[in-house]
Chain A
Amino acid sequence: GAGVSQTPSNKVTEKGKYVELRCDPISGHTALYWYRQSLGQGPEFLIYFQGTGAADDSGLPNDRFFAVRPEGSVSTLKIQRTERGDSAVYLCASSVNGAASTEAFFGQGTRLTVV
Chain B
Amino acid sequence: GENVEQHPSTLSVQEGDSAVIKCTYSDSASNYFPWYKQELGKGPQLIIDIRSNVGEKKDQRIAVTLNKTAKHFSLHITETQPEDSAVYFCAASLDNAGNMLTFGGGTRLMVKP
Give me the interface of A with B, judged by CB distance under 8 Å.
4, 31, 33, 35, 40-45, 48, 55-56, 58-59, 91, 93, 95, 98-104, 106-109
On whether the beta carbons of A93 and B43 are closer than 8 Å, the reply is: yes
Q: How many of B's residues come within 8 Å of A, CB to CB?
A: 23
**Beyond A42-B89, A43-B89, A103-B46, is A55–B99 a contact (Cβ under 8 Å)?**
yes
- A23 and B41 CA atoms in complex are apart in Å by 17
On whether the beta carbons of A102 and B97 are closer than 8 Å, the reply is: yes
Give me the interface of B with A, judged by CB distance under 8 Å.
4, 6, 32, 41-46, 51, 89, 91, 96-106
On whether the beta carbons of B43 and A108 are closer than 8 Å, the reply is: yes
On whether the beta carbons of B43 and A48 are closer than 8 Å, the reply is: no
- A95 and B34 CA atoms in complex are apart in Å by 14
Sample 10 A-B pairs with CB under 8 A, ordered by A number: A40-B106, A42-B106, A43-B89, A44-B103, A55-B99, A91-B44, A95-B97, A100-B98, A108-B41, A109-B43
- A40 and B29 CA atoms in complex are apart in Å by 27
On whether the beta carbons of A43 and B44 are closer than 8 Å, the reply is: yes
On whether the beta carbons of A100 and B96 are closer than 8 Å, the reply is: yes
On whether the beta carbons of A98 and B97 are closer than 8 Å, the reply is: yes
On whether the beta carbons of B43 and A107 are closer than 8 Å, the reply is: yes
- A99 and B51 CA atoms in complex are apart in Å by 13
Which residues of B have CB within 8 Å of A104? 46, 98
Which residues of A have CB within 8 Å of B96? 100
Report the nearest A residue to B44, measured CB to CB: A106
